[in-house]
Structure 1
């Protein structure tokens, strides 16, 4: 009998495809939503802002004009105490030479994606102290808040939209941040005739809207919360984009190389009332 691949598998090279399958990862949401980004060389960023309204008065001729005082405030981003996200991954030179894919490129893409995801989770989260780590959207002070304490419905979304209108925000920059299960739950709402109340726009492929505002669907929003924000009123200070450095000498004694990724960001609202949070959703 002639030898074949089935009788002599030891003599055949295993067929390995020259691709590396990445796990499914959520794309960056917060930075893609359009906040105002300020680049810096590492120094703290101070964004001056006007205070409250003054009260001009009516005056007749020859009357003394009353004086008004305008006050000022500022938003501080990236204080010196804010930490960076840093990560290092080592690999042997043998693995780098024998890999059927570009190992350094694959690891670079993986690490950069993970660092971006870490920032997204932070900015859309509820933690952070604003001193050593950036604060998340749901931890910002002085924002508007609706304590719903019930199942999500369209009425509470309209209430949030109404608060945005009352705060004189830019309606064109308003965006929703919802969890996947929240949005699918809303899409299931039907009228008395059994028709879905929310219908997709056939002219806008893949774009979801609620009350005319774009919907960002992300599992990084903390459970039981959602937000409606005027993204033009949110500032991001960027010290460094995720920056990759190949370390060839640090681990030379082990015949290894390493990839180091470093990034530093901060985010704060310029006008906190332009962010409306809905909490307590069950």
Structure 2
């Protein structure tokens, strides 16, 4: 519960017209270009797992009609998939005595907190209790070694993608590993850093030509290289706020409820390489 006695820093006689929120990174997964499907129910995405064998046929020869392909499917948003939900209660006195429009601030803050939890789940969720299985925990992904002192380990990850005819377009790297990588050069005696800033893209960094997203939502020693076109996200509802003005009326309080429901799967797991430090 949020009330005036516990939040005196919000009262008009103590603060100016400014609110300083905690420093946090923006969303990393949803802003990196996955395929997003809006659905409230179970979603089945068909996948081709093998193609036909094509051969050469002589002029006037019989064209074989034995071609066959095999299908699989990716199932997202099963009925048992759980949602992220939270309710925050606060007093009407706090609203009236605040100088910063605390009701609006709390709404924004709750949405941000829920979105951060969602981002962590999309990256590394364990999938327990019918929650999201994150990218690092998906079945059949490729694996590699992360050595932030040796850029060759990262080139090996790129090679794994190319061996599967995949063109990776995103690195996700923990902030600690990002700094370690930022310090190393392309080769012994080189003055050129392996991790380069793209001055045309608002301080975007590239590692061997591939954009890098540093994030505290990945543990140190874990990195992801992937083609985001192979990452499918099912969205039932984006983080949304409902004001519960009557539920706590006998306490002269208001409730804010924030809910969201997502799921994640990989269209082709070979399009993702999860790197771990030895």
User: What is the match of residue 183 of structure 1?
Assistant: 178
SS of 1:162's equivalent? helix
Residues 95, 202 of structure 1: alpha-carbon distance in 2 compared, 3 angstrom cutoff:
closer
Out of 218, 228, 231, the residue aligned to residue 234 of structure 1 is 231
Q: Does 1:273 align with 2:233?
A: no
Could you list the per-position Cα deviations for residues 252-274 of structure 1 after superposition, in whole angstroms to 9, with x for gaps in the alignment? 11111110001000011111100
Matches within 5 A, 1:12-161: 14-40=13-39, 42-60=40-58, 61-63=60-62, 65-129=64-128, 132-148=130-146, 152-161=149-158
Could you list the per-position Cα deviations for residues 17-75 of structure 1 after superposition, in whole angstroms to 9, with x for gaps in the alignment? 022211111211000000011111x2111111112122123344344725022111111
User: Deviation at 1:196?
Assistant: 4.3
Q: Distance in 2 between matches of 1:32 and 1:272?
A: 20
Contact 1:188 1:196 in 2 (8 A): no
Q: Distance in 1 between matches of 2:256 and 2:145?
A: 45
Contact 1:45 1:76 in 2 (8 A): yes
Contact 1:126 1:222 in 2 (8 A): no
Q: Distance in 2 between matches of 1:139 and 1:192?
A: 35
Q: Does 1:195 align with 2:191?
A: yes
SS of 2:241's equivalent? strand
User: Deviation at 1:200?
Assistant: 2.9
User: Deviation at 1:126?
Assistant: 4.9
Contact 1:178 1:221 in 2 (8 A): yes
Contact 1:242 1:263 in 2 (8 A): yes
User: Deviation at 1:104?
Assistant: 1.2
Contact 1:152 1:182 in 2 (8 A): no
Contact 2:149 2:184 in 1 (8 A): no
Unpaired runs of 5+ in structure 1? 1-12
Matches within 5 A, 1:190-269: 190=185, 191-193=187-189, 195-198=191-194, 199-269=196-266
User: Deviation at 1:127?
Assistant: 1.4
Q: Distance in 2 between matches of 1:193 and 1:146?
A: 27
Q: By percentage of residues, which structure has more strand? A: 2
Residues 15, 98 of structure 1: alpha-carbon distance in 2 compared, 3 angstrom cutoff:
closer
Contact 2:145 2:153 in 1 (8 A): no
Q: Distance in 2 between matches of 1:64 and 1:239?
A: 47
Contact 1:125 1:222 in 2 (8 A): no
Unpaired runs of 5+ in structure 2? 1-11
User: Deviation at 1:147?
Assistant: 4.0
Could you list the per-position Cα deviations for residues 223-258 of structure 1 after superposition, in whole angstroms to 9, with x for gaps in the alignment? 321010100111110000111000011011111111
Q: Distance in 2 between matches of 1:201 and 1:64?
A: 52
Q: Distance in 2 between matches of 1:39 and 1:221?
A: 26
SS of 2:204's equivalent? coil
Q: CA RMSD in A?
A: 1.9
